[in-house]
Structure 1
Amino acid sequence: MTIVITLCLSFAIFALIIWGLMHMRTPRFRMERADFQRGLEDVIAGQADENEWRILTGYPMRHDPALEKLRLECLQIEEDEYTGKLPYLFTEAGLRKLRDLRERLLALPLQEESE
């Protein structure tokens, strides 16, 4: 009798775990415009390291096409002007391009909430 109870209880716990895993959402990282702006300003000010730059540019921003376009421009600036040296990760020309990009980010119209 204890074997049957143990098996039933084990099956119920296993089924509960499987059900829970099936209904969990995959975690998503979603960078908003304000986060992108702060990260960009940190890079321009020389307060960001390479990891922060990778976080800023490493994730596609499908939820905001305008922000995705700016992210891709950042990657192009990185290709041309990145030094990787602290405190400033970019050449002076790269920092100038990032400042221009930040100004364009600030000029973007407010984003409509899609979710």
Structure 2
Amino acid sequence: MTVVITLLLSFCFFALIIWALMHMHTPRFRMDREQFVRGLEDVIAGQADDNEWRILTGYPMRHDPELERLRLECLAIEETEYTGGSPHLFTRAGIERLRAVREQLLPQDNDKTDNTKEL
């Protein structure tokens, strides 16, 4: 009888563990636009190392298609302009291209036009 109870309790215990593992969610890392801009600015200023660059570009941005497009653009820049040196990880041309990516993320100031000329 003790063996049956032990086997039943063991089965219930392992079933509970398996059920819990099936319903657990892995933590998600989400980078927002401000964090991405700060990371780009660090790379441009020569204050980021290779690890920071990998964190910046290594995770897909499925939650923001525009940010994902810019991340992929950064990876394309990496293919041709990455040096891995210190303090700057990129060539001058690469840094300029990263600045252009950063500019796409910064809020645009809409110049107010004077509509009185049209009247």
The number of residue pairs the alignment matches comes to 108
- Report the counterpart of residue 77 of structure 1 in structure 2: 77
Give percent identity, aligned residues only.
75
- Correspondence 1:1-115 to 2 at 5 A: 1-107=1-107
Structure 1 distance, partners of 2:34, 2:66, is: 13
Structure 2 distance, partners of 1:90, 1:63, is: 28
Structure 2 distance, partners of 1:84, 1:26, is: 32
Aligned with 2:106: secondary structure? Answer: helix
Structure 2 distance, partners of 1:52, 1:24, is: 29
Give per-residue Cα distances to partners, 1:1-47, cap 9 Å, x unaligned.
32122112111110100110111123332221122112111111211
Structure 1 distance, partners of 2:30, 2:2, is: 49
TM-score by length of 2: 0.81
The amino acid that maps onto 1:98 is: L
Structure 1 distance, partners of 2:35, 2:16, is: 38
Structure 2 distance, partners of 1:19, 1:66, is: 37
- Report the counterpart of residue 113 of structure 2 in structure 1: none
**Runs of at least 5 residues in structure 2 that lack an aligned partner in the other structure:** 109-119
Structure 1 distance, partners of 2:37, 2:3, is: 61
Structure 1 distance, partners of 2:57, 2:68, is: 9
Structure 2 distance, partners of 1:98, 1:107, is: 16
The amino acid that maps onto 2:58 is: G
TM-score by length of 1: 0.84
- Root-mean-square deviation (Å): 1.5
The amino acid that maps onto 2:32 is: E
